[in-house]
Amino acid sequence: MRIGGIAGGALLLGWWALAACSSGCERTTGGQSPAESADAAPGRGADPDAEADAQAQKGAERGARFVGLLAAGEFSQAASHFDGPMRAAMDAAGLEAAWKGLGARLGAFRGVEGVDTERRGELVAALVRCRFASGLVLARVVLDPGGQVTGLWFKPAAPAWEPPAYADRQRFEEREVVVGQGAWATPGVLSLPRGPGPFPAVVLVHGSGPSDRDETVGQQRPFKDLAFGLASRGIVVLRYDKRTLSHAAVLKAKLEEFTPQQEYVDDALAAVALLKGEARVDPQRIFVLGHSAGGRYAPRIAQASADVAGAVLLAGGARPFARVILEQYEYLASLDGVVAPEEKDAIADMRRRVAPLADPERLARTPAAELPFGVPAAYWQAELAHDQVAVARSLGKPLLVLQGERDYQVTMEDFDGWRKGLAGVARVTFKSYPRLNHLFSEGEGKGTPDEYNQPGHVAAVVIEDLATWLAGPPP
């Protein structure tokens, strides 16, 4: 049973509505259990932050109770605490599949070891440490002011990230920056090679989901690998938190207006502008690198700015998104050789949800609750209107298309789609890697979401290929 598992849920079912708060939130408790937090509360009456502390305590208690319902098998009762977008994205059966998927991998649930909380605006995330027989899982239960669950994400309690062997911290420095201005400004970090420059530079554009600047997935941080590896080789790298993470609460209120332009393009263009103003950056060699869904939009970003010299597509999808969604569901359900009844139901439900995407008139009148992941029609209309291959073909700028052959999320069929669609176009380079997965880390056999939960790094050969291309002859 794979649909809704630890990494599969985060990448497939998660979308950006399912994880409204993450490590960028302000932490308000220090690893206390709900009981410990309650014991500490009376002494804080005169504290000016007492209201925030009380909110955090209540969030911790609610998060622990929610996990308690899952442990007791009360999935319908747990799902009754979901807000509207969560109900549209995951029902009680999906919640049951996710929880039982954890048990299938990690053995019996032993109990809650403690709860931390993080706060972003009016939202509180309860970080519930769940002990299973063979592992520890962090359940992130995001709560709105009314106590409803507005986000849910299961992931392994990961050990500290260790830099890859190809990173040399003596050869670069990092500086915190702010990408963009005004209401949508988002925090980021600039990795700068030591020396006067000017150096080539690249903006990293995430895939779907509320991703942090490192594009953290399970125990892997591919964007941090790229930044450390490329900066060690004389390339400036800019990475940032997606606005679906840093402005989750605001976006939730503007859901009907949200499109891929806001999710991928606008912040990337602001990042390009930031790089152009950096003294150590060669203004003639600023590139964008899009991963996964970010790769679908990298050509559009490059098209929108004369300051972008070219684009890199890492596992960029070439096919319609609706088809890819269904394929992922079917693939994950088949991994253990048995498609369980609830998995058949989940696949059938998603097939019903993607059906309106094939008919523009039907899509326009279909409510968000009946569309994939509860995402409104305006988003899907914009996605369907975007022809990434056609944009890339007319771009007139250098392109590098890289693909892991073990990738089950964006497959070799997508890679072949780029090859065919860009046949005869000058200054386009293609390369695939037999042992690499969607995150460009190495493995063997069929790709699974479980490997994202193991320590790993972007393969050294990818870093070398990228550095060579980015620092190559002038575009």
Strand 109-120's sheet: what is its strand order?
Answer: 26-27, 109-120, 123-132, 135-143, 149-156
Give residue 97's identity as a one-letter amino acid code. A
3-state secondary structure of 442: strand
Structure tokens at 141: 């239960």
Q: Using CA atoms, how far apart are residues 327 and 141, in angstroms rounded to an integer?
A: 28
Closest C-alpha to 265, from 369, 188, 180, 200: 180
Peptide bond into 341 cis (omega under 30): no
Amino acid at 235: I
Can you tell me the distance from the alpha carbon of 462 to that of 475, in angstroms, rounded to the nearest whole number?
A: 20
Which of 37, 211, 232, 292 is catalytic? The answer is 292
**Do the beta carbons of residue 452 and residue 217 sit within 8 Å?**
yes
Q: Is 206 a catalytic residue?
A: no
Alpha helices in 311-397 (DSSP H): 321-334, 341-354, 360-364, 377-385, 388-393
Structure tokens given for 284: 């003639």
Neighbours of 446 (CB within 10 A): 12
For the chain, how many residues are written? Answer: 475
Dihedral of CA atoms 339, 340, 341, 345 in degrees, nearest 10, equals: -60
The catalytic residue among 81, 206, 438, 457 is: 438
Residues 462 and 211: their CA atoms lie apart, in Å, by 21
Residue closest to 141 by CA, chosen among 156, 129, 159: 129
CA distance 440 to 52: 41
Kindly tell me the burial class for residue 202, based on how many C-beta atoms sit within 10 Å of its own C-beta (0-12, 13-18, 19 or more): buried
Question: Reading across the β-sheet that carries 236-240, which strands appear in turn?
Answer: 172-179, 186-193, 236-240, 199-205, 281-291, 310-314, 399-404, 428-433
The single residue of 116, 407, 414, 457 carrying the catalytic annotation is: 407
- Is residue 438 part of the annotated active site? The answer reads yes
> Any idea of the CA torsion for 26, 160, 434, 7, to the nearest 10 degrees?
-50
Q: Would you name the residues annotated as active-site residues?
A: 292, 407, 438
